[in-house]
Amino acid sequence: MANGNAERSIQNKPAIALSNPMSKTLQLKLDYDQLTNCMRCGFCLPACPTFKETGLEQESPRGRIALMKAVADGIMDPDQAFQDQMNHCLGCRACEPACPADVKYGQLIEQARDAIEDHDVHSVPVKGLRKVFFDGVFPHRGRLKWLGRSLSIYQKSGLRKLVRGSGMMQLFPAYMREMEQILPDATAKGVVEQLGTVYPAKGETIARVALFRGCIMDVLFSETNVNTVKLLSEAGFEVVIPTEQVCCGALHAHSGEMERAKDLARTNVQVFKDAEIDYIVSNAGGCGALLVEYDHLLHEDSEYRELAEWFASQVIDVSMLLFEHGRIPAFAERNACANEPVMVTYQDSCHLRNVMKSSNAPRQLMKQVANVNFVEMKEADRCCGSAGIYNVTQPEMAGQILEHKMEHANRTGASYLLTSNPGCLLQMKLGALKHGVSGQMEVKHVVDFLYERISEIK
Amino acid sequence: MLDRVLTRKLRQIVGEENFRDDKEALVAHSYDGTPMLQSLPDGVIYPKDTYQVAEIMKNLAFYSVPVVSRGSGSNLCGGTVPVHGGVVMVMHRMNQILEVDLENLTATVQPGIITAEFITHIESLGLFYPPDPSSMRISTIGGNIAECSGGLRGLKYGTTKDYVIGLEAVLASGEIIRTGGKLMKDVAGYDLTKLLVGSEGTLAIITEATLKLVPPPKSKKTMLAMYKDLYGAARTVSRIIEAKIIPATLEFMDNPTIRVVDDFAKLGLPRDMEAILLIEQDGDLEAVERDIERIREICEAESADRVEVAESREHAEKLLTARRSAFTALARLRPTTILEDATVPRSKIADMVLRINEIARKYNVSIATFGHAGDGNLHPTATTDARDHDEVHRVEQAFEEIFEAAIELGGTITGEHGVGLVKAPFLEWKIGKTGIEVMRGIKQAFDPHNLLNPGKMFAKETRKRVVITRG
Ligand SMILES: Cc1cc2nc3c(=O)[nH]c(=O)nc-3n(C[C@H](O)[C@H](O)[C@H](O)COP(=O)(O)OP(=O)(O)OC[C@H]3O[C@@H](n4cnc5c(N)ncnc54)[C@H](O)[C@@H]3O)c2cc1C
Ligand code: SF4
Ligand code: SF4
């Protein structure tokens, strides 16, 4: 305190004319209170995967906040390096639970990306891809189905074989090539087409819950959605699936397409209010994390604010709902030899853990399966590197992180690697393919694993 | 801006990507854990071994460019803010444990290793390295040594200085010195090892350290005592020591802290208590149980309102929560949190806490105090908002008066956070003019051109002492 205010200020402050239009947008969008709340204690550093990989302060949460603040204070231009740094962040939000001052880092990074996005600087292929998916596909259920159908035709018709054989895949970037190999069989038949819109509880009804089916989930993992509904029913929940629901908007929000995300949120809030339910269940950490923050997303919208708060308070992760409120059925692993239990390990979904605060429930459920040994893998709480479209935009860092992740996974000797989010699921499958001991480890969603092990049914 | 030839040389020494002078890197190394301080360096360098450090120093000395050595930048005294520009030298790449010597019970490490990672490794070998600053999950051993950091176990086990027995360091000239060794006794000349401990990067760059290890205690017990009378708590602290018991931990929280912690952690603490003491003892089971029983008697004799001894590990964890949440709870209160560490003789704790509360009222600022009661090391913590210049000014005035009060009670301006930039103007209050002269002489001998962390420890001018008006 001592040298008085004179020295307690910014020295060597170059006068940056704030003529840069992106500076202005950033100053407008960044929440200066949150920037000030960061006291630079550094407690978030060990939690951050990009800091761990690089050891560089600028790749840490504290560093990124300092960069944002420097731009807001006019000490620094939001140059290309700044923009790249904002995109290097995985958005895994492991820094938030580590922060004593409760800095809302997730909001800051979204604000920064939103501002950068306003000045549109993507390379042509990324731009094209984003446009197609963000505006063209995710928000439209019909088109998603179409995508599912095309993928499914592609996968089933022999076209896939042809394409793979022809070497056509070589033309795609390496990541897309790898992804193509692990993509599950897509289907145009979502959960509603398979089970209808209302599914009764087995036994006495504990509560009426609505399933948030998710767009990627319902096309690529509709089986998981089906299993989620059936598992919930077994545990005593009546499940409804409002058909008017739309994409959660997470990918939009995390990549700076804020207005689009808000539109989607408004639709969902209304649809679920009309459904008259006790809980809104999510089985994808990535979606769920945005759903529980709809209150923040719409806090400036006077018309929807209250509804959004209600919505956010109803959202719950499927494992947590089962574990804390359900009648948990008996699970048993049948592939285990009598004296050798099957080893199972778990990769946290960052958003499930850090935002929805559900890390104990999935583990507890796995531990309840008879003939299964749960082994905790080292750094299971660390991001796997998939983080939305991070894989596509930052292939190098994502690759590094994945390699380390798989070293830890392999060391557990587990036969099953379970997770709770489609992005993580794909990433872990990719990991098992690239760095796994072949045939040793199967990657699955927790829900699928559990449902297949309900003793009475099979 | 650094000389072009110099930057080329620096890049040659460490490799292209380990020297940076882009804006991003400069901004990210312009601050540390100290609130409201920022100054940009001209470059950032990441050496990988002693040889590189020596070569870097030779070149910087030739061009008279200052250097600030930096661990994780978690210090609270402005110690790594490059107020004179120059190069920030980040020690993170030098993070190896070079050797653990089980015969001599020593470990030799590079300075960039994270304290908690070192401790975990040592404990996995069944050994014990006691210094445990609350920041140990981020701080480096190099930073701990340079600040002589303390921790919760300081009362019984001492602080960093008690465990550093040998150092390798690079001087401003680029020459390398080695001090001490794997020796429990060594009186060959002045004790340069101890001199470098706590030197805050102003005398040399530490490149290797040999640390003393001890066998771990066999068991531990935790208890909590609450007081309506502050002096009762203070007397308890003195009585425990008088009874020839040295607890492993003896932590203190005052009433404003108790209230904030209770609001935050919802522990149902009685809000009318003036003090809480958290006490732990470790050692052989029988001795631990005897000590804890004796301490309980002392607490009760000094009219503690409530005494709770943990029955199990979980119970102990519950008792520890209050003290552990203190910093987090305070940090969430207002945007800016200023954590100080005025220290007094243990017998003067109650007087000091009352003075702090009085001073806070006088300047109309909120200051909560918690800390290491056994060491007399208090952490008066002000919660404010950097943007409110008027309030920040009052906080600064309050802290000046707190330093003054600490010295008056026979204490010091800083117990473990270091002088750095923010307490430099007060150093003379504690050590006097002659003390400053001697220290300047030492600085001159190590670093004649003032290149190592300039602006720290010695102020341009000493703060005029405030005249204390009571009431
Ligand atoms: C929330 C919080 C809690 C804290 N709790 C405690 C506590 O309980 N006890 C305590 O004592 N401190 C505490 N501190 C202060 C701080 O964490 C310690 O001073 C720590 O030792 C700093 O380590 P660092 O690696 O971050 O060093 P830095 O902050 O990077 O550097 C500190 C000083 O050391 C010098 N230095 C660093 N490396 C070297 C080297 N290799 N050679 C020479 N000089 C070097 C720097 O120049 C600087 O002067 C706390 C800080 C925070 C933010
Ligand atoms: S832990 Fe929180 S307050 Fe500390 S540096 Fe990180 S974001 Fe800032
Ligand atoms: S969100 Fe994840 S990657 Fe980004 S700064 Fe926080 S911890 Fe690091």
Name the token pair of B119: 């401790």
Give the residue-averaged pLDDT of A151-156: 55
Q: Was domain B4-90 assigned CATH 3.40.50.2300?
A: no
Task: Provide the shortest C-alpha distance from residue A46 to chain B (in Å).
Answer: 7
Mode of pairing for the β-strands spanning A198-199 and A10-11:
unpaired
- pLDDT for res B146: 98
Task: Provide the shortest C-alpha distance from residue A34 to chain B (in Å).
Answer: 8
CA of B136 to the centre of ligand 2 (A): 15
Selecting from B28, B335, B389 the residue whose C-beta is nearest the C-beta of A57 gives B28
Cβ–Cβ under 8 Å, residues A217 and A225: yes
- pLDDT for res A114: 87
> Which among A10, A9, A14 is positioned nearest to A77, based on CA atoms?
A14
- In the CATH hierarchy, which fold is given to the domain comprising B219-322? Alpha-Beta Plaits (3.30.70)
- pLDDT for res B27: 96
In B, which residues are within 8 Å of A50 by CB distance?
A: none
> Which among A97, A177, A29 is positioned nearest to A354, based on CA atoms?
A97
Cβ–Cβ under 8 Å, residues B333 and A33: no
The set of residues, in sequence order, having a beta carbon less than 8 Å from that of B266 and lying 6+ positions away, is: none
Note whether B219-322 and B333-418 share their fold.
yes
Rounded Cα distance between B468 and B471, Å, is 9
What one-letter code names the amino acid at B147?
E
Q: In 3-state terms, what secondary structure has residue B320?
A: helix
Rounded Cα distance between B75 and B147, Å, is 8
Task: Provide the shortest C-alpha distance from residue B106 to chain A (in Å).
Answer: 26
pTM: 0.85
In A, which residues are within 8 Å of B328 by CB distance?
A: 100-101
- pLDDT for res A156: 55
**Interface residues from chain A to B (CB-CB < 8 Å):** 1-5, 7-12, 33, 36-37, 39-43, 45-46, 55-58, 60, 63, 66-67, 70, 75-77, 79, 81-82, 85, 100-102
- pLDDT for res A168: 44
Q: Give strand pairing partners of B227.
A: B275
Q: Cβ atoms within 10 A of the Cβ of A328, count? A: 16
Selecting from B31, B328, B386 the residue whose C-beta is nearest the C-beta of A100 gives B328
CB–CB contact A40 B33 (8 Å): yes
Name the token pair of A243: 């058909």
Task: Provide the shortest C-alpha distance from residue A14 to chain B (in Å).
Answer: 10
- pLDDT for res A456: 58
pLDDT in tens, B274-284: 999 999 999 99
Cβ under 8 Å to A: B residues 16-75: 22-25, 27-40, 46, 72-74
Cβ–Cβ under 8 Å, residues B446 and B204: yes
Does A328 have pLDDT greater than 50? yes
What percent of chain A has a predicted confidence (pLDDT) above 70? Answer: 78
Cβ–Cβ under 8 Å, residues A360 and A369: no
Q: What is the rounded radius of gyration, in angstroms, for the C-alpha atoms of chain A?
A: 23
Q: Rounded to 10 degrees, what is the CA torsion of B249, B95, B142, B22?
A: -130
Average pLDDT of chain A is 82
Name the token pair of B243: 């009874």
Give the residue-averaged pLDDT of B452-467: 83
| pLDDT class of A135 with cuts at 50, 70, 90 | low
| pLDDT class of A17 with cuts at 50, 70, 90 | very low
Q: 3-state SS of B375-416? A: HCEEEEEEEECCCCHHHHHHHHHHHHHHHHHHHHCCCECCCC
Give the residue-averaged pLDDT of B314-318: 89
In A, which residues are within 8 Å of B40 by CB distance?
A: 11-12, 75
CA of A240 to the centre of ligand 3 (A): 35
Which residue CA neighbors atom 6 of ligand 2 most closely? A44
Name the token pair of B208: 């290797």
CB–CB contact B73 A57 (8 Å): yes
Cβ–Cβ under 8 Å, residues B32 and B74: yes
Report whether residue A106 contacts ligand 2, using a CB cutoff of 6 Å: no
> Which among B228, B265, B231, B197 is positioned nearest to B373, based on CA atoms?
B231
- pLDDT for res A172: 46
Query: Within an 8 Å CB–CB cutoff, is residue B83 touching chain A?
Result: yes
- pLDDT for res B246: 95
Give the residue-averaged pLDDT of B360-372: 95
Q: Ligand 2 pocket test: pick from A41, A48, A89 the residue with the most ligand atoms within 8 Å of its Cβ.
A: A41
Q: Where are the beta strands (DSSP E) in A409-452?
A: 416-419, 442-445
| DSSP tag of A134 | I
| pLDDT class of A10 with cuts at 50, 70, 90 | very low
Average pLDDT of chain B is 94
Domains plus CATH for chain A? 21-117 (1.10.1060.10), 191-325 (1.20.1050), 342-451 (3.40.50)
| Residue A71: closest C-alpha in chain B | B27
Query: Within an 8 Å CB–CB cutoff, is residue B386 touching chain A?
Result: yes
- pLDDT for res A435: 83
Rounded Cα distance between A182 and A431, Å, is 10
| pLDDT class of A150 with cuts at 50, 70, 90 | low
Cβ–Cβ under 8 Å, residues B368 and A17: no
* Dihedral sign, Cα of residue B159, residue B160, residue B161, residue B164: positive
> Which among A137, A1, A10, A142 is positioned nearest to A70, based on CA atoms?
A10
In A, which residues are within 8 Å of B429 by CB distance?
A: none
Report whether residue A101 contacts ligand 2, using a CB cutoff of 6 Å: yes
**CA angle, residues A163, A166, A167, in degrees to nearest 5:** 95
CB–CB contact A8 B25 (8 Å): no
Give the residue-averaged pLDDT of A277-289: 90
Q: Was domain B333-418 assigned CATH 3.40.50.2300?
A: no
- pLDDT for res B433: 94
| DSSP tag of B312 | S
The strands making up B164-170's β-sheet, listed across from edge to edge, are B97-101, B106-109, B205-212, B164-170, B176-180
Give domain B97-212's CATH number out of 3.30.465.10, 3.40.50.620, 2.170.130.10, 3.40.1160.10: 3.30.465.10
Does A70 have pLDDT greater than 70? yes
Name the token pair of B337: 């949190």
Does B96 have pLDDT greater than 60? yes
Rounded Cα distance between B245 and A263, Å, is 66
| pLDDT class of A6 with cuts at 50, 70, 90 | very low
Rounded Cα distance between B86 and A268, Å, is 54
Cβ–Cβ under 8 Å, residues B416 and B147: yes
Give the residue-averaged pLDDT of B364-382: 94
The set of residues, in sequence order, having a beta carbon less than 8 Å from that of A119 and lying 6+ positions away, is: A21, A22, A25
CB–CB contact B23 A100 (8 Å): no
Rounded Cα distance between B373 and B257, Å, is 14
Residue with tokens 């070192």: B118
> C-alpha distances in angstroms, A246 versus A50, A188, A265, B212, B394?
32, 16, 8, 62, 53
- pLDDT for res B469: 41
Rounded Cα distance between A383 and A381, Å, is 7
Does A268 have pLDDT greater than 60? yes
Q: Where are the beta strands (DSSP E) in A200-245?
A: 207-212, 237-240
> Which among B248, B221, B198, B211 is positioned nearest to B121, based on CA atoms?
B211
What percent of chain B has a predicted confidence (pLDDT) above 90? Answer: 87
Report whether residue B416 contacts ligand 1, using a CB cutoff of 6 Å: yes
Rounded Cα distance between B67 and B82, Å, is 8
* Dihedral sign, Cα of residue B110, residue B114, residue B119, residue B120: negative
- pLDDT for res A173: 52
> Which among A65, A71, A72, A73 is positioned nearest to A89, based on CA atoms?
A65
Query: Within an 8 Å CB–CB cutoff, is residue B90 touching chain A?
Result: yes
| pLDDT class of B267 with cuts at 50, 70, 90 | confident
User: What residue spans define the domains of chain B?
Assistant: 4-90, 97-212, 219-322, 333-418
Q: Rounded to 10 degrees, what is the CA torsion of B351, B357, B358, B364?
A: 160
In A, which residues are within 8 Å of B332 by CB distance?
A: 100-102
Cβ under 8 Å to A: B residues 272-331: 327-328, 331
Tell me which H or E stretch contains A35: helix A32-37
Rounded to an integer, what is the distance from CA A189 to the centroid of its chain? Answer: 23
Residue with tokens 């649809």: A271
Q: Which ligand is nearest to the CA of A48?
A: 3
Give the residue-averaged pLDDT of A197-226: 89
- pLDDT for res A254: 77
- pLDDT for res A394: 77
Report whether residue B160 contacts ligand 1, using a CB cutoff of 6 Å: no
> C-alpha distances in angstroms, B401 versus A385, B254, B269?
51, 19, 31
CB–CB contact B399 A79 (8 Å): no
Does A221 have pLDDT greater than 90? no
| pLDDT class of A167 with cuts at 50, 70, 90 | very low
Number of residues that make up chain A: 458
Give the residue-averaged pLDDT of A292-318: 93
CA of B420 to the centre of ligand 1 (A): 11
Give the residue-averaged pLDDT of A200-221: 89
pLDDT in tens, A406-420: 899 988 889 899 999
- pLDDT for res A136: 53
| Residue B335: closest C-alpha in chain A | A37
> C-alpha distances in angstroms, A280 versus A245, B170, B255, B381?
12, 62, 43, 43
pLDDT in tens, B204-222: 999 999 999 999 999 999 9
> C-alpha distances in angstroms, B107 versus B130, B167, B213, B215?
13, 12, 7, 13
CA of B83 to the centre of ligand 2 (A): 22
